[in-house]
Amino acid sequence: MSDDLNARVGRLNDVLCAVNTLNWDARTQMPSGGAQTRGHQVATLMGIAREMILDRGMQDAVDAAGDDPAAVAVQEAINHHTRLPAELLRAQAEHATVAGAAWAQARETSDFALFQPHLEKVVSLARESAQALGYEGHPYDPMVQIYEPGETAASLGAFFDTLRAGILPVLDAARGRPAPRTDFLYRDYPPELQHRFAADTARALGYDFDRGRLDTAVHPFEVSFTRNDVRITSRWPRNYLPMSIFGSIHEVGHALYEQGVDPAHTRGAFATDMIGLYAVGGTSFGMHESQSRLLENHVGRSPAFWAAHFARLRDTFPQQLADVSEAEFVAAINRVEPGPIRVEADELTYDLHIMLRVRIEMALMDGSLAVADVAQVWREAMRDDLGVEITDDAQGCLQDVHWSSGYIGSFPTYTIGNATAAQLMAHFDATKPDIRAALERADTAPLRAALSDSVWQHGRARSRAQMLGALGAEANDPQPYLSYLKDKFTAVA
């Protein structure tokens, strides 16, 4: 990439890192009264970022660079933002912070009515974006492609239909088996001790605290300000221990991806999402999610992991876990127990939560569902899909932060991540048996090395399909994931 183009993209990355900083602050420590002005601040910076992309000098620098892959990525961003009006981008950025504050209040009071007008505006702005960007199939298509390039409502529908058909028989069989003991998961666990255990676990998994930190948020997230400052958050409910453990491990998976990007990509086109306007090194939300779900589930829920870490957990909570064996704990964290909360869902029911959200998003985008009916449709679907009765909005349609942030189209990437994680592990099992052998000793170093080589180092230089293709796998192949679920939950029984 030419020096001029590199310098221009570097400055763009700086602006987007400043946006990330403001968003991190808004979700961790900003006073509630700052929401409206924070929205203006973020919108101003997002507008500046768009202007930098569409500056004539940026186009000249791209033209001079020819077919350089980085220049191709910048050209795609120029084409995207040429179609998307500046006032629409500003409206979305301004509304996101205000809607986020309204969502937090609505969630706290379990009152969807407080959030409804804000979600109506989110959906309206998303529809405007879809119209501006253009589509041939479904208005959902251009929205999901912001987060997962190449996917459409049709491709996702086929992928989800296959997964659903494969998951439901395994779920039906699992529901008929005796449930493991879980009472100890709901005892009183002091938040400060949860935080300490999570930090120690993150460090053991390879998270570099010299380039990161662990904070508290209503909804756990990871955020990057280049590979040299990658922060994670979690939450610490006193009466449900798995949330802090697996929420933290999940975010560590995201963070390892960002910390593992090749240093040569720092501030460059392959560490900057110039279409979604994020300072992020991961190539797509789905590939990013594959790293967090791989670490959370394939590693963090394994018996081998807890053979090495349960004693430390019991030392942290000696009274709460005095009567609990390692085997009982492992059985409890791998139980199949349909519930209302996505981030607390077991592996077997998790994707049904995602499918519900995607159905709602598609219906909101094509107008077949009104925002006012979301809460009721949610309750009915949870009853039909999982046999779960939703008794309040906080445990229903208000549980996720995504819609308040304007992330219409991002939910499919969680299931894409689950499938991709299984594909990666299936490949490693077939080609690098030393990885599985090391995991049996709770040693994640060989796995991290393989992920660094296959995924992390490339940043955004390769797509998810290209990285999987290099391993002989095809994107959105559901079979490795279905095999993993079947094998695991047959074995658990």
The answer to the question of whether 289 is labelled as a binding residue is yes
Burial of 384 (C-beta count, 10 Å sphere; 0-12/13-18/19+)? exposed
337 annotated as ligand-binding: no
**Residue 459 is encoded by which pair of tokens?**
């940043």
Q: How far apart are CA 454 and CA 477, in angstroms?
A: 18
Nearest-angstrom CA–CA distance, 160 and 293: 18
Order across the sheet with 230-234: list the strands: 214-216, 230-234, 222-224
DSSP 97: H
Two structure tokens written together for 3: 């020096």
- The secondary structure of 320-362 as a DSSP string is TTTT--HHHHHHHHT-----S-GGG--HHHHHHHHHHHHHHHH
Q: Read off the tokens for 448.
A: 């991290």
The answer for residues whose C-beta is within 8 angstroms of residue 214's C-beta and 6 or more apart is: 195, 198, 199, 202, 231, 232, 233, 234, 248
Look up 251 and say whether it is catalytic: yes
Q: For the chain, give the longest Cα–Cα distance.
A: 69
d(CA 194, CA 206): 19
The Cβ-side half-sphere exposure at 213, using a 13 Å CA radius, reads 7
Selected catalytic residue, list 94, 148, 222, 251: 251
Which of 368-375's residues contact partners 24+ apart within 8 Å by CB, and which partners? 371/116, 371/119, 371/120, 371/123, 372/116, 374/112, 374/119, 375/112
Locus of tokens 């992920």: 451
DSSP codes, 281-310: -SS-HHHHHHHHHIIIIIITTSHHHHHHHH
Answer whether 404's CB lies under 8 Å from 122's CB.
Answer: yes
* Alpha carbon distance 334, 488 (integer Å): 9
Do the Cβ atoms of 279 and 13 come closer than 8 Å?
A: yes
* 326 labelled binding-site residue: no
Q: Long-range pairs for 260-265 at CB < 8 Å and ≥24 separation?
A: 260/227, 260/448, 260/451, 260/452, 260/455, 260/456, 260/457, 261/227, 261/456, 261/457, 261/458, 261/459, 262/457, 262/458, 262/459, 263/227, 265/227, 265/459, 265/460, 265/461
- Binding residue positions for Zn(2+): 250, 254, 289
Catalytic amino acids?
251
- Binding residue positions: 250, 254, 289
